[in-house]
Structure 1
Amino acid sequence: MTTWTSEELDRIGGATELGLASVRRDGSLRRFVTIWVVRVGDDLYVRSGYGRGSNWFSGAMQQLAGRVRAGGIERDVIFEEPGSGVDRAVDTAYHAKYDSHGATNLDPMLTRTAAETTFRLLPV
């Protein structure tokens, strides 16, 4: 498995939105959906504000693989469930990056339900 380059971390982590497409069972990509992405150190994280029932999250859970694009970068990724040890740092990153979007938009990303859908994006 490879790691993110500094440029990829800066460009994807600095992008307001990320396009995410999960891999279907037949290997094809689902359509890209737009979600928020945050950077914590040398890692990139995404969450579902709608919980495990959201279409993109349930699709990602099937193969744990997909493709992301943001900041002019497009990469194949693996979706890894990092466990609750990163919840506070990811919450802090969401606050720092998206507070200006208002509580109505940000608060769903900070719930326990959303935290349970956190994926770390690992480049392939």
Structure 2
Amino acid sequence: MTLTTTQQETFAQADDFHIAPYRADGTTPGTLTWIWSVVVDGDLYVRAWNGQQSRWYNAAKDQGAGKIMIAGNEYTVAFELVPVTGHEALQDEIDDAYRTKYAGSQYMPPMIADGPRNATVRVILK
């Protein structure tokens, strides 16, 4: 489902994104994990701080779906991995969104490094 204009604006400003990919049974959400999120070209993206070794990233990759909480609301979502190769321009836009939204944070520079870039996920509302 495409984000509404209101959702795009709200999600772009929100700093309370929690992700819970489904467990192996495909229906039980895992533990909600607080992570950073950005909106680029109307789509919601997240990255794993620990890159492809992140537990939530691997669950999102394996299950392809789960729950999120953002801006005080819970959503059922699908997860789509965004590879770096072939998507360099999009990855650069996501980098810019992280730089803008999290400017001044000591944790921002690592989020635009190779590890997290290789663990970029598009979050799609169902």
Q: Is the 8 A contact 1:11 1:72 kept in 2?
A: no
Query: Does 4-13 or 62-71 show the bigger shift?
Result: 4-13
Structure 1 residue identity aligned to 2:122: R
CA distance in 2, matches of 1:4, 1:75: 12
Q: Does 1:6 align with 2:5?
A: yes
Q: Does 1:121 align with 2:123?
A: yes
Question: What is the TM-score when the length of structure 1 is the normalising length?
Answer: 0.91
CA distance in 2, matches of 1:6, 1:69: 18
* Shift >2 Å, 4+ stretches: none
C-alpha deviations, 1:65-93, integer Å up to 9, x for none? 11111112221111111332211000000
Deviation for aligned residue 1:9: 1.6
CA distance in 1, matches of 2:109, 2:50: 11
CA distance in 1, matches of 2:62, 2:99: 29
Q: Does 1:43 align with 2:47?
A: no
Structure 2 residue identity aligned to 1:89: E
| Count, aligned residues | 121
Q: Is the 8 A contact 2:21 2:30 kept in 1?
A: yes
- Identity between Structure 1 and Structure 2 (%): 30
Q: Is the 8 A contact 1:47 1:109 kept in 2?
A: yes
Structure 1 residue identity aligned to 2:5: S
Q: Counterpart in 2 of 1:106? A: 108
- Structure number with the higher helix fraction is 1
